Amino acid sequence: MPQMHLDTTRITWLHTPALNVRTAARRIGILLFDGFWLLGPGTVVEMFQSANELADTRSGEDPPYEVQFLSMEGGNVASSSSARIWTDRIDTRFGSGFDVLFIAGGYGAHAAARDERLLNWLRAVQSRTRAIETIGEGRLVLEAAGPTEHDGMMGRYPAAAAGEAAFSAADDRNDCARSALMFIKRDLGAELARSVADRVMPGMAATWVPLPAEGGTLSVAEKIRAAARWMEANCDRPVSVADAAQVAAMSERNFLRRFKHEMQVTPSDYLLQVRLRIACNFLTETELPVDKIARRSGTGNGDRLAKIFRKRMALSPTEYRARSRAATEA
């Protein structure tokens, strides 16, 4: 079977002896299982590699990111296309956590979701990891480990399963790219993230990393509206106040104050309203299960969406669907 040995001088992709590994400022882990979808993790690595190449790193300094492929036992892991990637074995070396850990699915994820050794490792790493993102069936492993979900703007929401018919390969790749860009933008700024997007996903930079100052100086109201549009476009992903404030080119404190003045609600409430509107549309117009609607609207899972519905609308998603359709028929 073909093997993938990707040579790069900036990122540690392959296993190297510990004494030769340069410790980067930010650690990115990608946990793989047999049968993983190759394009997803490949796009993530391409994003961070491009950020390393475009960052203004002075001579002798480490690049901003170090990316490591991991697996339960280490060694070669076969993708769904039979290409193989060399991985490091999960062990105490990685117990200090990561800046971001991506969990890439595959048929091997189903067994991994029942492996207590892996789940215990993941539980221990979670508290020392800045954020966890999933790709395809990787969500099964994260759910089995029992992640902590946060209310408000920032949360860990599993990506859509790779097998869902409504999602194409392009949709999944976009999902991975946007996840990586979110962290690059936060770490290195919007301009560099935009350059990364231009290189890896041409044509998507303006949508994913808008620069409000383009086309002349914008008023405060225009900046707030631009941030609101950005929140709507990215509502299916975790969104933070810091991200939205950066789109508006404001400090977080000033952004919170001005957003509430312009929009009459806080950024968190505005984002929740957008997600609820999307969920309501799916419930009324499709036959999708509540869990899938929750993922597509950015509200995490069916239980969390039901909790939000009961709190905000005093009924369950299923009840809303039935009432809405009855009203339409009447």
pLDDT at 8: 33
Nearest CA-CA partner of 105 in 39, 200, 171: 39
What is the structure's pLDDT at 222? 82
Scan for tokens 């990608």, then name that residue: 30
> Average pLDDT for consecutive 10-residue bins of the chain (330 residues)?
38 34 69 88 91 75 87 90 89 77 87 88 84 83 68 40 40 75 82 86 70 60 85 81 83 90 90 90 88 86 89 89 81
Residues of the chain within CATH 1.10.10.60 domain(s) are: 270-329
Q: For residue 209, what pLDDT is reported? A: 67
Which of 264, 210, 197, 260 is closest to 48 using CA atoms? 197
Tell me how far apart the alpha carbons of residues 112 and 114 are, in angstroms, rounded to a whole number. Answer: 5
- Residue intervals in the chain for CATH 3.40.50.880: 3-183
Q: What is the pLDDT of residue 151?
A: 39
CATH superfamily of 3-183: Class I glutamine amidotransferase (GATase) domain (3.40.50.880)
The CATH homologous superfamily of the domain defined by 270-329: Homeodomain-like (1.10.10.60)
Q: Evaluate whether 158 touches 300 at the Cβ level (below 8 Å).
A: yes
